[in-house]
Amino acid sequence: DLDGFISVVSSIFASIPYDDGMRLNEGSFHTLFYLMVSAGGLPARSQVLNYSGRIDMVLEMRDKVYIFEFKCNQSAEVALNQIKERGYHRQYQHSGKSVYLIGVNFDYKKRNIDEYEYIKII
């Protein structure tokens, strides 16, 4: 349930106290997202290098692969398009697993996930 998962992650971000001195950037959101997923016991890998770039995060389950691209103050569409254009999914297309591409955009002012989009390609 990807929608439920994103909802839980958004709730966790919403519970983080605001601090005027805290400087958030894409790396901050990415790290927090990765820590939440990993602490939840999921097999997350961050900054996965491949032939065309660096995938922000991959969750490879027994029967599914989730490929995440994170952006800040841009759009989920931009993130999703980067995954497609750089072919981050190609190494998984013959794995026999369902493959999901997920673009997530964080908003600095909201200090949370602003929007996300996903598609199942296999």
What distance in Å separates the CA atoms of residue 29 and residue 25, rounded to the nearest whole number?
Answer: 7
At 111 the pLDDT is 84
- Say what the pTM is: 0.87
pLDDT at 116 over 60: yes
Under 8 Å CB-to-CB from 69, ≥6 apart: which residues? 55, 56, 79, 80, 82, 83, 88, 101, 102, 103, 104
Residue 121 tokens read as 């390609």
Q: Flag whether pLDDT at 25 surpasses 80.
A: no
**Tokens of residue 44, six digits:** 């997350």
Give pLDDT, residue 120.
Answer: 96
Q: What is the pLDDT of residue 14?
A: 85
In this prediction, residues 84-105 reach a mean pLDDT of 96
Mean pLDDT of the chain: 90
pLDDT tens-place string over residues 63-74 = 999 999 999 999
